């Protein structure tokens, strides 16, 4: 069925509904299509979330977290690697001498605090 035929069918259903509403008496009753929010939709959503929670609990029960041996407090630590959110600035530490060196004048606020410029390359 093409787009034009489909739009014609939708338009004719609206026109039929309009004629049916205009020809009836004072009391009009509209039939409800589909299902209501309460309790059908709420129960359906509760069942879906309960199933997802049961799957997560099942996997947490089947696949336990790894329990490694106790840490040795006297062992020397290896290379301390920064956390993932610090890696961007940590990578720029190697580029410090190649980055442009400039200062930002702070003006009146710098005069108040006794520091006229703020060096961005404080290495």
pLDDT value of residue 79: 77
| Domain-located, residue 108 | yes
| Domain-located, residue 71 | no
Contact of 120 with 103, CB cutoff 8 Å: yes
pLDDT over 80 at 18, yes or no:
yes
119: helix, strand or coil: strand
Rounded to whole angstroms, the Cα distance separating 104 from 118 reads 6
Rounded to whole angstroms, the Cα distance separating 112 from 7 reads 72
| Domain-located, residue 16 | no
Rounded to whole angstroms, the Cα distance separating 9 from 118 reads 71
In total, how many domains does the chain have?
1
pLDDT value of residue 53: 98
pLDDT value of residue 40: 87
73: helix, strand or coil: coil
Q: What is the pLDDT of residues 24-81, one digit of tens each?
A: 666 767 777 777 888 889 999 999 999 999 999 999 999 988 888 888 888 887 777 7
pLDDT value of residue 45: 95
pLDDT over 70 at 123, yes or no:
no
- Domain limits for position 115: 84-119
């Amino acid at each position: 069925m093409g787009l034009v035929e489909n739009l014609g069918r939708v338009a004719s259903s609206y026109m039929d509904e309009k004629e049916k509403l205009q020809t009836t008496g004072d009391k009009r009753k509209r039939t409800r299509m589909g299902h209501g929010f309460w309790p059908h939709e709420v129960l359906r959503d509760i069942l879906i979330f309960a199933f997802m929670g049961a799957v997560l609990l099942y996997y947490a029960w089947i696949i336990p977290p790894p329990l490694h041996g106790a840490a040795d407090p006297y062992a020397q630590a290896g290379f301390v690697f920064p956390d993932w959110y610090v890696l961007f600035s940590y990578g720029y530490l190697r580029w410090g001498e190649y980055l442009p060196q400039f200062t930002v004048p702070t003006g009146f606020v710098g005069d108040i605090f006794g520091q006229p410029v703020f060096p961005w390359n404080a290495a």
